[in-house]
Amino acid sequence: MKNVISFVFVLFCCGGLDAKPRVKVFPVSCARVWKAVETVANGKDYSSSMLDDKRMKASLVTGHGAWTGKRTMYLSLQGSGDSCSVSVEGIFSGLAHNDKGDLFKRIEEGLLIGNQENRQ
């Protein structure tokens, strides 16, 4: 019983370990990345979003159930030329979720779709 209580305590205390920003650099302009972010934000994966086109910042809310709760992520873009750094901040989302990683995957998919549309 003591081990179980200790384990639960560690989970609660270490819950914020994933709260630090996660950064990924894309080898395209921030304008192209922002278009992908807009596509992702308007998709089915986020219950609400706020986009600041001028500053290229966004907040996205994910999590829909009573078990997971709603979780907000904050995204910002910085870069010049053909390089764009995307920073995503948010609190730890649980053992079954990878909110930041999922968001980066969706942005990559949005960039691929944008590339295919530009070729046609």
The predicted model scores a pTM of 0.77
The CATH superfamily of 18-119 is: START domain (3.30.530.20)
Mean pLDDT (whole number) for 52-71: 86
Mean pLDDT (whole number) for 14-22: 65
Q: Which residues fall within 8 angstroms of residue 34, CB to CB, at 6 or more apart? A: 53, 56, 77
Give me the pLDDT at residue 13, please: 45
Give me the pLDDT at residue 98, please: 87
Encoded tokens for 119? 């070729």
CA neighbours closer than 13 Å in the CB half-sphere of residue 77: 29
What are 70-92's pLDDT values in tens digits? 889 999 999 999 999 999 998 76
Expressed in percent and rounded to 5, the helix, strand and coil fractions of the chain are: 40, 30, 30
Q: What is the mean pLDDT of the chain?
A: 83
